[in-house]
Amino acid sequence: MAVPKKRTSASKKRIRKKF
């Protein structure tokens, strides 16, 4: 998944929902 590596370790669950 192409997500910003700013806070992927803390927002891993939210990133999956958004992306």
pLDDT of residue 12: 62
Closest CA to 7 of 15, 18, 17: 15
* Both structure tokens of 12: 């891993």
Place of tokens 């939210």: 14
Contact criterion met (CB below 8 Å) for 15 and 3: yes
**pTM over 0.95, yes/no:** no
Place of tokens 């958004």: 18
Q: What is the pLDDT of residues 2-19, one digit of tens each?
A: 666 666 666 666 666 655
pLDDT at residue 1 is higher than 60 = no
Contact criterion met (CB below 8 Å) for 1 and 18: no
Place of tokens 């997500």: 3
Q: Residue type for 14, please?
A: R
